[in-house]
Structure 1
Amino acid sequence: MMTAVHPMPRRGRFTAGMLLGLFFFAGAVQASEGGSIKAGREAAQSCAACHGDKGNSNNPAFPSIAGQPAKYVASQLTAYRDGKRENAIMNGQAAGLSDQQIRDIAVYYAAQGRKVASPADEGSELGADLYHQGREGVAACAACHHSDGYGNQPAGFPALRGLTAGYAAQSLKDYRSGARAHGQAVLMIPLAAELSDEEIDALAAHIASLD
């Protein structure tokens, strides 16, 4: 696993757009999320079957959602419910959720501690460089998701530590293809569009090594 200290991110040509997006999303979360942790705990009982106790998954097929920003969780659940993001399991699970239940579930998971059970033993030098420094045309992932993948709660940017390489790679490919085109996709689509398959796999390998 890589533990090297990396320099500050280098700005790519999409950095200006990313900064505008930061202001937009950060401003959108100034108001209260309006959810109840207690109610969310009750509403999220069925989620544990796939996402684990308190949102920490032990199954590589399902991502951990503990500690994810409430805004991010709410946006994903809403997208699944409304058919804007497709997944056979999640579309069905979210179909009957009200707006209030989504807010409750979101704040519940945001309040849970995120644990990384088994980070990948090996990362990727190319992936680490892209994640921390970016390249021409691709801003560094660390600028929004933290150098160690903790995400950004106030801005609603998700944590990446604890994601498997397969899940991270598929997410990037879905942004690149436009399959994920809701919420923060306004920031991710132009960045992912610049990434090759090799770069996506390298980034995913590095993300999977974050602990």
Structure 2
Amino acid sequence: MKTATRSMPHRGRFTTGLILGLSLVAGAAQADEASVKAGREAAQACAACHGDNGNSNNPAFPSIAGQPAGYLATQLRAYRDGTRENAIMSGQAANLSDEQIRDIAAYYAAQERKVLNPADEGSTLGSQLYHHGRDGVVACAACHGAEGRGNQPAGFPAMRGLSPDYTAQSLKDYRRQARKGGKAEIMYPVVADLSDEEIEALAAHIATFE
């Protein structure tokens, strides 16, 4: 009678693969930490407009804390390369390397987004458009979330914490296709038929997000 023996090759391969996988994850985490640290150093000049840790207390400048890293990197490259124009940002980004852009994006993406001064009053029309849309206009919540928190994995930016003036100007820039770079073209048909009144209403509603 033969005694049954068990071969363990699969377990060995599994263990090796698991160790290798954990090593890769650890390496990625260390790389991310390094990028965030380097980004903190590279982003020192950004705080003057965007606030400490990317939470702006100036309505003229948007909060960028917690935005998707890919979105932030795309916007910085667009400013640097002249695809997106802004007198201040074009100059700030002009001499940034690709590595610096990735590091700055990683730093701000890792920061907690805080809404410093949410508006007390919104807009019924803006709420309807944001959450439900209308014929020919997709609901903003479909991409940016019901509370304007965005979608990090998909690269859709958070809307909460943006001032009404900034949001309204951004939507008007998309409407006239003056804002380019990244996923900008997705926005063109979304806002093409929005009136000034509807844009102002949307901006007022978005400003109430906490």
Q: What aligned pairs does 1:155-194 form with structure 2 within 5 A after superposition?
A: 155-194=154-193
Give the Cα–Cα distance (whole angstroms) in 1 for the partners of residues 183 and 136 of structure 2: 18
The structure, 1 or 2, with the larger RCO (C-alpha pairs under 8 Å, 6+ apart) is 1
Q: Deviations over 1:2-54 (max 9, x none)?
A: xxxxxxxxxxxxxxxxxxxxxxxxxxxxxx8x761011000000000110000
Structure with higher helix content = 2
TM-superposed deviation, 1:121 = 1.1
TM-superposed deviation, 1:182 = 1.9
Equivalent position SS for 2:207: helix
1:67 aligns with 2:79: no
Instruction: Tell me the residue number matched to 1:124.
Output: 123
Residues 169, 204 of structure 1: 8 Å contact kept: yes
Q: Deviations over 1:50-85 (max 9, x none)?
A: 100000011111110000000110011000000111
Q: Deviations over 1:164-187 (max 9, x none)?
A: 000000000000011112211121
Equivalent position SS for 1:130: helix
Residues 144, 158 of structure 2: 8 Å contact kept: yes
1:48 aligns with 2:43: no
Instruction: Tell me the residue number matched to 2:75.
Output: 76
Residues 181, 189 of structure 1: 8 Å contact kept: no
Q: TM-score, normalised by structure 2?
A: 0.83
TM-superposed deviation, 1:159 = 0.2
Instruction: Tell me the residue number matched to 1:96.
Output: 95
Instruction: Tell me the residue number matched to 1:136.
Output: 135
Residues 40, 104 of structure 1: 8 Å contact kept: yes
> Deviating runs (4+, > 3 A) in structure 1?
none
Give the Cα–Cα distance (whole angstroms) in 2 for the partners of residues 126 and 194 of structure 1: 15
Question: How many equivalent residue pairs?
Answer: 179
1:86 aligns with 2:85: yes
Give 5+ residue unaligned stretches, structure 2.
Answer: 1-27
Residues 149, 158 of structure 2: 8 Å contact kept: yes
Residues 78, 180 of structure 2: 8 Å contact kept: no
RMSD value, Cα? 1.1
Q: Deviations over 1:105-162 (max 9, x none)?
A: 0010000000001011110000000000011111100000000000000010000000
Q: Which has the larger radius of gyration?
A: 2
Give the Cα–Cα distance (whole angstroms) in 1 for the partners of residues 208 and 48 of structure 2: 25
Percent identical pairs in the alignment equals: 73
Instruction: Tell me the residue number matched to 2:105.
Output: 106
Give the Cα–Cα distance (whole angstroms) in 1 for the partners of residues 151 and 85 of structure 2: 25
Q: TM-score, normalised by structure 1?
A: 0.83
Instruction: Tell me the residue number matched to 1:19.
Output: none
The amino acid across from 1:144 in the alignment is: C
